[in-house]
């Protein structure tokens, strides 16, 4: 399986369990690794035979900016579901970063990583 990666997609969302997170929102960063067979696209040099990562990026940002959820686990699942709607994508790894999580001690980042496939 080949991999197409998108790293550092940024969007503002209103996800979290605390009222301040829902009201003010915060930046979320998403990394994706899409698993697919790129041989047909490479052989024909045809975009229609691979995944259009620009469209995937726009769709992922729309998910982050969309309906709020309490957990980044739920957000990651919704992102994975959206990616798997693309016919050629057989597997996706999603990393959701929440660098401004409401934690009372110094930290760099909070992430959830999930892998989902059609199987």
- 10 is a catalytic site residue: no
Tokens 């009222």 — which residue?
19
Q: How far is residue 56's CA from residue 97's CA, in Å, rounded to a whole number? A: 18
Q: Considering 10, 49, 85, 98, which one is annotated as catalytic?
A: 98
Q: Tell me if residue 102 falls in helix, strand or coil.
A: coil
Q: Measure the CA–CA gap between 34 and 28, rounded to whole angstroms.
A: 19
The catalytic site residues sit at 98
């Amino acid at each position: 399986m080949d991999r197409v990666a998108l790293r550092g997609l940024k969007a503002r969302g209103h996800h979290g369990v605390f009222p301040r997170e829902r009201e003010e929102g915060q930046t979320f960063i998403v990394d994706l690794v899409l698993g697919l067979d790129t041989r047909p696209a490479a052989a024909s040099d045809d975009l229609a035979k691979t995944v259009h990562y620009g469209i995937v990026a726009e769709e992922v940002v729309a998910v982050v900016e969309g309906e709020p959820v309490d957990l980044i686990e739920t957000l990651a699942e919704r992102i994975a579901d959206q990616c798997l709607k693309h016919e050629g994508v057989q597997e996706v790894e999603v990393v959701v970063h929440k660098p401004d999580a409401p934690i009372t001690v110094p930290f760099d980042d909070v992430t959830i990583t999930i892998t989902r496939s059609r199987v």
